[in-house]
Amino acid sequence: METGLQFRVQRRAGNKHADVQPLTRRDTQIMKKIYNGRWSWNRRAIIVLVGDQMIAASMNGMPHGAGAIKNGFPGHFCIHFWGSTTHRSGKMDPAYQLMILKAGGKIDDYLNNVDPYELINIFSIAVNNHDKTLLELSVAKNKNQSQLMKVIKDLAYFKITNMSLLPVEDINEQVLMEVPVEVEFYKKHKGRDKKVMHFIIRRDSLIDRWYIDGQYLLKELY
């Protein structure tokens, strides 16, 4: 969706989602270009064209398992559609789900209705997938926006290990919340760390959507 590049694939297998492989070496080269020349598990929003149908979907960019054609691609990769599940969990993968919503033009509607806790999970997915668009949709803009994005870009890994939840009825009448979250992360230039981060989540009124306070987030990530 973001690069405008397109390539052809062949479905190899898969019943919970599609296991596919690039059709030719040229298709493999185009796919790798989408991932800036390096294979990655990062999810990406895509449109799958099948005949005259255009279907919102999401793919990863990591060769794994087996392949069956001479295309320079060592294995296959996964494409998930709405309702597709992972092999292990039997559930929709949240990162694929967000990318499918993004591909289908529904991500704004979805974010308009998420609670503060889900918003923090979405932030985590955005960081791990290096998805700038999703980050900008979940974090409120602030005067140090470029500095914040630079700090986030330095995060190679971000995992939520524990988050205490309030009942939904206690959230409905709030316009600002402080949510302590236990996290583990890896900074490219500083290494691995773990801490309790305090997210400030706010909205302008009871009928508006939630955003993560970017200014406070920057302080917590330093």
Q: What digits encode the pLDDT tens for the residues 171-218?
A: 888 999 999 999 999 988 788 999 999 999 999 999 999 999 999 999
Sheet holding 53-61, edge to edge: 9-13, 18-22, 77-80, 53-61, 40-50
Q: How far apart are CA 21 and CA 23, in angstroms?
A: 6
Is residue 166 very low, low, confident or very high in pLDDT (cuts 50, 70, 90)?
confident
Structure tokens at 206: 């009871």
pTM over 0.85: yes
Q: Mapping DSSP to helix (H, G, I), strand (E, B) and coil, where does residue 214 land? A: helix
The dihedral built from the CA positions of residue 112, 156, 43 and 161, taken in this order, carries a sign that is: negative
pLDDT at 122: 97
Give just the sign of the alpha carbon dihedral 163, 103, 78, 76: negative
Whole-angstrom Cα distance, residue 125 to residue 41? 12
pLDDT per residue over 33-49, tens digit each? 999 999 999 999 999 99
- Is the CB of residue 77 less than 8 Å from the CB of residue 62? yes
pLDDT of residue 90: 84
Q: What's the pLDDT at 164?
A: 87
In this prediction, what percent of the chain has a pLDDT beyond 70? 100
Beta strands in the chain (DSSP E): 9-13, 18-22, 40-50, 53-61, 77-80, 155-163, 176-187, 191-202, 211-212
Instruction: State yes or no: pLDDT of 106 exceeds 90.
Output: yes
Backbone φ and ψ for 45, nearest 5 degrees, come out as -80, 130
